[in-house]
Structure 1
Amino acid sequence: MTVPTLPPRLSLFDLPLDPVTLDHALDTLGGWMFRDARTPHTVVTLNPEFIVQCQSQPDFVAAIQAADLVTADGVGIVWAARQLLHQDVPRAPGYDLVKGLMERHRGDLKVFMLGSKPGVAELAAQNAVRDYGIQVAGTHHGYFDLPEDQRVAELVQGSGAHLLLTAMGARRQETFNQYWRQVMGVPVMIGCGGVLDVLAGSAQLAPDWTRRMGVEWIWRVAGDRKRWGRAPRLFQFTQMVQAEKRRPR
């Protein structure tokens, strides 16, 4: 069986966007992990905050533009694609990608979990073994500075992982994966934000109804004061979309 072909890419604010369903994304990632395992691939789950940050962070732009798969993480991206590109783009959120890969491949899958606070990746790995039967290729916290990047990348390199889950926050995780992709050599590397915290049980997954509607970010921002500072970015994104829509063609 060959790796599924991706549909033509879209461009949203000069960033790539692959209009794939969750199942298509999972089929593609499975192919990369087990049938094209010698080639490293990076995955970005695009959300409105990423687009706002990219207005002032060229290294973040470069990492997203170089990614092999860029999925729509939230309803904001779906809405923007409909407003500006007149296309309906399916959602393939980061948590659903990670869970789907572990459910599909279980004991055949070797996962390296990198990120979050010390101890979180280890607990997430233990829970993933219990719930999905995966193999743990390695774990490491995300609290290290740039001078340590090479050491961590080489640790991942020697792990034999099929899948790297990098949870170090927007921009840091994507730029790390892109810069060190050839050194690490992992078939699939996903910047996955708070997914490790959810797997570890130290953060709560948004309720099903918010996830079905694609508005889980509202639930997260409203329920966590640490996230309140992110709300202005979401408002700024809405303004950006409206301004782009009014711009003469």
Structure 2
Amino acid sequence: MSAPAHPERPTLFDLPLDAPSLAQTLDTLGGWISQAPSKPHTVVTLNPEFVMDSRSDDDFIRVMQAADLVTADGVGIVWAAKTLQGRDVPRAPGVDIARGLMRRHGPELRVFFLGGTPGSEGEPGVAERAAQNSFHDYGIQIAGHHHGYFGPEQDAEVAAQIAQARPHLLLTGMGGGRQEKFNEAYREVMGVPVAIGCGGTLDVLAGTAELAPEWTRRAGVEFVWRIASDRSRWGRAPKLARFVPFVLAARRRHN
């Protein structure tokens, strides 16, 4: 495993932030998918939680620095880049990247869905539902699916299953940090042209989570809406609350 070369790569809090637009991201990833022979690439969609988690997790920092592409997922990243660097950063959220790639490439695209809760009593799990809905909506090929409720001792087994399925795109939704570390640790084993840590994207694709209304996305308050409407996200609010003073303190230090 080796980190890709990124001369003079822009950063935010020591983390890479390439920050292409959504259209540029889809163009780049589409090129990687169609590249022959294919090479494995990892994508990180950076949000404020990742920044805060990385402050106490050197391995997470290393994994994000090794990613081939880092986009701005959360509006907090856009605000931080503007506040600290005067830099206008476009957003390319994980759910928009996943949908955009499937919409563009359709039947030519083989996708593996990894993450979410497993099924029970004959009911499909989140990953399987996401796969079924994506096949219906975009006509993609389902390379495979697997729930995200497995421990590190099973990582190699799951990675081997993904490698055997030979997807073009791996959507890994196992929570921030866990998903990025898995994608990076097994990138060479899996050999997937594009592996994205995409958090709750599988829940959205599966229909078990609602995408924030468009007006909240335009106004930059979609995460406030998500926290208010989903109890499972309430535990993440303190981390986001700490991000604002963290950024403001960094601005004071540099002034």
TM interval, short-chain normalised:
over 0.9
Q: Which runs of 5+ in 2 are unaligned?
A: 1-5, 119-124
Deviations 1:153-210 (A, max 9, x none): 0000011100000000000000000001000000000001011111111111111111
Q: Which runs of 5+ in 1 are unaligned?
A: 1-5
Q: Matched residues, percent identical? A: 61
The verdict on how the C-alpha distance between 1:37 and 1:242 changes in structure 2, with shifts beyond 3 A counting, is farther
The verdict on how the C-alpha distance between 1:51 and 1:233 changes in structure 2, with shifts beyond 3 A counting, is same
1:148 equivalenced with 2:143 (yes/no): no
Matches for 1:24-103 after TM superposition, within 5 Å: 24-36=24-36, 38-103=38-103
Q: Cα distance, 1:226 vs. partner? A: 2.0
Aligned partner of 2:200: which letter?
A: G
Q: Cα distance, 1:39 vs. partner? A: 0.9
Aligned partner of 1:168: which letter?
A: M
Deviations 1:55-101 (A, max 9, x none): 00111111111000000001100000001111101000000000000
Tell me the secondary structure at the aligned position of residue 122 of structure 1.
helix
How far apart in 2 are the matches of 1:179 and 1:216? Answer: 31
Aligned counterpart, 2:105: 105
Deviations 1:8-53 (A, max 9, x none): 6321000000121100000000000112552100000000010000
Aligned counterpart, 1:157: 163
1:213 equivalenced with 2:219 (yes/no): yes
Tell me the secondary structure at the aligned position of residue 218 of structure 1.
helix
Kept after mapping to 2: 8 A contact 1:75/1:91: yes
Q: Cα distance, 1:102 vs. partner? A: 0.3
Q: Cα distance, 1:214 vs. partner? A: 2.8
Q: Provide the aligned C-alpha RMSD in A.
A: 1.4
Aligned partner of 1:109: which letter?
A: L
TM-score using structure 2 length: 0.93
How far apart in 2 are the matches of 1:113 and 1:73? Answer: 20
Tell me the secondary structure at the aligned position of residue 165 of structure 2.
coil
Aligned counterpart, 1:12: 12
Aligned partner of 2:61: which letter?
A: V
Aligned counterpart, 1:3: none
Q: Cα distance, 1:213 vs. partner? A: 2.5
Deviations 1:137-162 (A, max 9, x none): 01000000000000000000011100
How far apart in 2 are the matches of 1:82 and 1:50? Answer: 18
Deviations 1:113-145 (A, max 9, x none): 000001111111111010000000010000000
Tell me the secondary structure at the aligned position of residue 136 of structure 1.
strand
Aligned counterpart, 2:229: 223
How far apart in 1 are the matches of 2:109 and 2:196? Answer: 15
Aligned partner of 2:188: which letter?
A: Q
Q: Cα distance, 1:7 vs. partner? A: 10
Aligned counterpart, 2:121: none
How far apart in 1 are the matches of 2:187 and 2:24? Answer: 23
TM-score using structure 1 length: 0.95
Moved more, 228-237 or 75-84: 228-237
